[in-house]
Structures are given as structure tokens and as C-alpha cells.
Structure 1
């Protein structure tokens, strides 16, 4: 979208004109609100459709779309939601929205082959001096509160506790095939995945886990079996 078009849309949203211009402005708002609802279904479930729509309209007015393609619109919605004055007594909305966002990004991420335990075994000692490569769709989180349980409980009936509590919970969201998946993470699993994402050699990441008193081999095997990594391109036949 050109700068002119972006400014034009922003002006319409701030002060819609009468007649056809108002119709166009309302169309922009409606499209953006629908995109937010599609991208943040858990927040819709928590707030209810009417309250969500009113909240979404405020967000659209504050952050109009800058791209005519609205598939990924609302990247700043989780942070904005956490600061939105009428909802400050709902501190779980921002963290849960981050997980909705991760689901959307994983859904739209590039396809990739998945590293298997057999693949890893074939590389032998070579694997230890290279980083394990996280799947391009992978998003990992570690919260001090129960955002993952709330998110899972609203997305899948009975899958998680609908209680906001101070308890450490980790979550991985990724798409190893045609379906977006999620998996609970321990703090040690999260730490290893973060190390891998930073490009640290596998030996370094495992040494850090051992220093925390963890069975690093079992830790790596479990994450590889879950399909969270991809093969090194130089190892693909």
C-alpha cells in the first residue's frame, strides 16, 4: 500500500466523511475487525462477540491497516490489548492473544521437512557442533502465569484449566504438516529450544541443560520426536 493510501485510510478512520466516503471507511473498519476476529478467536471467546467487536473497532482506529491484504493484520493487537484501559482488570488477554498470534503465524509459515531421530543419529558427531534448526513455524513461550492453560481451554473444550494463576507454563506452537499443533513445554525444554533458536551448537545447548541437572539426551530426543526441528540443508539428500 502506498503512503498516500495509508494516510488516506487513517484519515477516513479518524473522521469518516459523509456519503460514499463513510461507506468506504466503514468497509475498511469492518474488514479489519473481521481480520482481528479471525486471527484472535480465543479473545473473541473470552470477551464475547459484541465486546470484542467494540474493542476491535477501537484498535482499528488507533492502528489502521497499512496493507490491503489483511491476513496478518493485528500484529500489535496483543500489546495494545494489554494496555487498553477498559480491560486492565483482565491481565490474561494480552498473553493469550500472543498465543493466538503465534497460531496464525505458524499456520502461514513455510512448509519444511521434519528432522527425525533417525536423521539425527545418521549425522553422528557432526550434529554436536551444529545448532539444531527449529522448524520455521515454531513459536515457543514461557509464562509466569497460566496463559497456555487458558488458551488451550478456550480453543479445545476440556484441554486446559480456565483459571488464571501464578504458575510457570511453557508452550510450543508449530505446524509440522498441514495442521497447527501445540505442546506443553517444561522450562528446560524451553531453554534448549531458545538456545537452538539463537544458533548455539547442540553440544553447547546440551551442556547448559546438563549444568541444570537435566538428562540432556532425553530432552533432545523428546523434542526431536515431537517434530520441532528440521534437517540441516547440507544433510538432505
Structure 2
């Protein structure tokens, strides 16, 4: 057995506990391999705990451990760093808890916040930088850490309560789907609920950056005077919140 074959057999043993692979690796000493598989699984469980602390609190230790084991059985590591291991844990939770959408929405929030924290740096756009802009051709750039998601439950309120260390509310479905946005403001990651109009505006800006297209969308949705006023108000709010990172004419 050459080195490449040994590595493949060892991976097969770690991921699937293949008896055939174990026999080829250890012959009659299969029991000695178990320590490696135990360490492998413990490390991955710990990785998920670190990535999703509030999901663990919400589910409870036993349910979280069961979900983690299911994830490990079905999703072996796929990247060079364990930091990326939990990226698709929300998909496992969605399969395990199809009738509890707050669980995977809470997982999305935790993942989005952790990604925002390590997103590339970008200085915030200032009002002074907008003074000589040709707004018909201007393209605004959202912060690299920005992301958005539609939610159907009060998962954001649950996350906020858990983050503050207070008793979270009972899970409940929203009267209609809403949206949350995540970004990093200097060294602080931010989670904020936004209404349908602001969500649509941010998605429009995220798609092509055109302020003119953004205004056209808002005018079509709200009427001319209200749409133009809303565009100005949103722009000022985004600058104040450091949601914008640049502008190109």
C-alpha cells in the first residue's frame, strides 16, 4: 500500500468507519484505530458548537449533539480549514427540523454574523464623498460584509435575547415573511430587521449598484414624490449605519 492509498483508506475509516478500510490499514488491530475516529468526531462537534452557540442553547445539548452527529455522518469536511466546516449545518437542521423553521433561520443568522466578522475591510462612505456625484450614473457599493435573508419566524428576536443572556421568547411564525440584514460596522457585526421596501431597495442595490435604477424601482413602487423621498432617506440612513463602502460615478 503506497502513501496515497493509505491516506484514502484512512479517510474512509474516519468518515464512514469502513470495516474493510480498517482491516487493510490495521489488520488484526482494528480496535486501535478507534481513537482516531473519536478524535475526528469530537473535533467536528466542537467546531459546530463554536460556530453555533445560540443554536445549541436553543435546541439543548442532547438535540444539538444528535444534529451534529447527523451532520458529521453526511457532510465530511470539504475545505482546508475547519472554520468552513459548519457552513452547511443549516441545511442539516432544515432536514431534521422541517416544522421548526426558527432553528435553521437562527443558524443562518449565526453563520452570517460570523462571516461578516471576517469579511474584507472597507472604509465607510461619507456624506462628503457624495457632494459632487452624478446621480444618474452613480453606482453605490454595499459593505463587503453585507448579506440579507428572508425570515418567516421571530428568529432574530430569539438570537437577540440569547445574545443578551436573557430568556428568549417562544418561537412564532411572523404574520408575513420579513427580512434581516447583517453587516460589520467597524469591529461590530450588526443584525437588523428591515421592512419590505428597504429590503427590496438593498437587493436592487446589491444586484447592480445603480442609484438611478434604485430610484426608478422606488418610484414604481411608491409613486414619484414618495419614491424619490424614500430613496434620499434610505441613502442617508445607509451612510449613517456604514452600510455603504463606496461610490463610482
Same fold at TM > 0.5: yes
**Larger relative helix fraction:** 2
Q: In the TM superposition, what is the alpha-carbon distance from 1:33 to its structure 2 partner?
A: 1.1
Q: CA RMSD in A?
A: 2.6
The size of the alignment, in residue pairs, is: 229
The answer to which of 151-160 and 18-27 deviates more is: 151-160
Match of 1:230 in 2: 245
Q: In the TM superposition, what is the alpha-carbon distance from 1:147 to its structure 2 partner?
A: 2.6
Is the 1:195–1:205 Cα contact (8 Å) retained in structure 2? yes
Is the 2:116–2:183 Cα contact (8 Å) retained in structure 1? yes
Equivalent runs, 1:93-172 vs 2, <5 Å: 93-119=103-129, 121-125=130-134, 127-157=135-165, 161-167=169-175, 168-172=177-181
Match of 1:220 in 2: 235
**Higher Cα radius of gyration:** 2
Match of 2:98 in 1: 88
SS at match of 1:230: strand
- Give the structure-2-normalised TM-score: 0.81
Is the 1:173–1:182 Cα contact (8 Å) retained in structure 2? yes
SS at match of 1:198: helix
| Alignment deviations for residues 131-174 of structure 1 (CA, whole Å, 9 cap, x no partner) | 21111111112223323222223223469754312233321111
- Give the structure-1-normalised TM-score: 0.85
Q: In the TM superposition, what is the alpha-carbon distance from 1:202 to its structure 2 partner?
A: 0.7
Structure 1 CA distance for aligned equivalents of residues 233 and 5 of structure 2:
52
**Unmatched segments (≥5 aa) in structure 1:** none
1:188 aligned onto 2:194: no
